[in-house]
Structure 1
Amino acid sequence: MKNWLFLAIAIIGEVVATSALKSSEGFTKALPSVVVVVGYGVAFYFLSLALKAIPVGIAYAIWAGLGIVLVTAIAWAFHGQKLDAWAFLGMGLIVSGVAVLNLLSKAGTH
């Protein structure tokens, strides 16, 4: 169970870091730049811990899928990114794919 918590922390770190990239303005703003570096450090450290028990393909699918949806939601809420019906459909398909991989596929078993 702790490995899934590690994966969740890794995803949060990556989402925070990626979201701060825009605010860093090409690493010219100090505070957002520090958030980017620390966020990615946290993300990769906790991902490495999660990978001790979670297969890399499963972990990365969850990381990427949730990361895409969460970063897009933050971009919409804080950076004025516009989303249309196709964007929502695409994100729904991503989440559905991650759910199928985790709930129905036997790929995650050791």
Structure 2
Amino acid sequence: TETTGHPDDKWGWAVQLALSIKNIPTGAGDTINIQGVYTDGATRYNFQNLAGSSYQMYGSSGIAYQSVGFANAPDTVFITGGSQETVKTWGFRGAYTHNWD
């Protein structure tokens, strides 16, 4: 009964690449770690637990047509008269561990 239509189903995916370099010349047990992530419709694989993924929806709120929804890490967005569009994200993390004696 939605006047805006109904979105179809979409699949999301993510790819992650990581590199760990150990026993570098700066000291015994030192490591360098780097990680890269790219997502297309799978935002949570990038944000992991660094940001919440809460979603709130208020039915029959009277503010907008039938309901209002809030999300901070969406996988897709839906536009009236269109279809779901996947949200694309990328991220990069790096770390250096040095063991002090």
Higher relative contact order (CA 8 A, sep 6+): 2
Structure holding more strand per residue:
2
Instruction: Work out which of the two has the higher radius of gyration on C-alpha atoms and give 1 or 2.
Output: 2
Structure holding more helix per residue:
1
Q: What TM-score, normalized by structure 1, do the two folds share?
A: 0.24
Q: What TM-score, normalized by structure 2, do the two folds share?
A: 0.25
